[in-house]
Amino acid sequence: MSITSKPAIVRVAIYSRISTRDHGQDAENQLAALRAWAAAAGHQIVHEYIDEGVSGSAGAAQRPQLAAMLLAAHQRQFDVLACWALDRLSREGMVATVGYLDALNRAGVGFHSHTEPALCTTNKDEFSRGLMVAIMSALAKAERTRISERTIAGLDRVRAKGVRLGRPGLDDATRARIVALAGEGLSSYAIGKRLRLDPKSVQKYRPAAALAEAAD
């Protein structure tokens, strides 16, 4: 007599970002839909990570629940991350967004976008998941290179007009490294940690990169 083993329960974590412009009822409806999806699929929700009153353009340093979710994924505390849409996870641009998806993929965590089936990795085999992330990573690299080149060229034009960039006390080499690292998609926190600078100082300098790009 053979014993049929029960399929392993899929552990699901939900991530939701609620900005100040989101309607409270809409946000609750999104969470309810994700909970219903998990229940219908027979999955177990192990945690809900909700960042309230923050923009999707903010990085993990400004979104504590995002940071907690990424750490839990690294520790294999869940199998699938469920979001209403990819922009709930991040609106930081392709570079940062692909970075999050790649981190999940490397941790063996699938991604479920409730409104974007084409972006779900839970119904794809390992090769297809890796291929999708690789394609998105290639696009992100091209975007990072383009932004970096435009930023550096823009800064040169702004300097040529006599505009001083950055806070006093930051030498040209440090400012150039901040611009280059920002062009690679690093957050202000990550840049500050690498250069041993206060992230707030880095953040105050980053608008100069936006000014340079606007001059393009």
Query: Does residue 126 surpass a pLDDT of 90?
Result: no
- Whether 134 maps to a domain, the answer reads no
* Residue 115 shares a structural domain with residue 180: no
* Residue 16 shares a structural domain with residue 118: yes
Name the pLDDT band for 155 (thresholds 50, 70, 90).
Answer: confident
The pLDDT, as a whole number, for residue 1 is 46
- Whether 75 maps to a domain, the answer reads yes
Return the minimum-mean-pLDDT range out of 102-106, 111-115, 161-165, 173-177. 161-165
Say if CB 168 and CB 192 are below 8 A apart.
Answer: no
- Main-chain dihedrals φ then ψ at residue 118, nearest 5 degrees: -65, -25
The pLDDT, as a whole number, for residue 203 is 75
- Whether 155 maps to a domain, the answer reads yes
Which one is predicted more confidently, 215 or 5? 5
The pLDDT, as a whole number, for residue 214 is 36
| Rounded Cα distance, 53 and 57, in Å | 12
Q: Report the pLDDT averaged over residues 33-61.
A: 91
List Cβ neighbours of 69 (8 Å cut-off, separation of 6 or more).
13, 15, 47, 49, 81
* Residue 113 shares a structural domain with residue 37: yes
- Whether 98 maps to a domain, the answer reads yes
Q: Report the pLDDT averaged over residues 50-58.
A: 84
The pLDDT, as a whole number, for residue 209 is 41
Q: Rounded mean pLDDT of the chain?
A: 77
| Rounded Cα distance, 168 and 181, in Å | 20
The pLDDT, as a whole number, for residue 146 is 65
* Residue 44 shares a structural domain with residue 104: yes
* Residue 23 shares a structural domain with residue 106: yes
Count of domains observed in the chain: 2
* Residue 115 shares a structural domain with residue 15: yes
Residue numbers of the domain that contains 199: 144-214
- What's the one-letter identity of residue 93? G
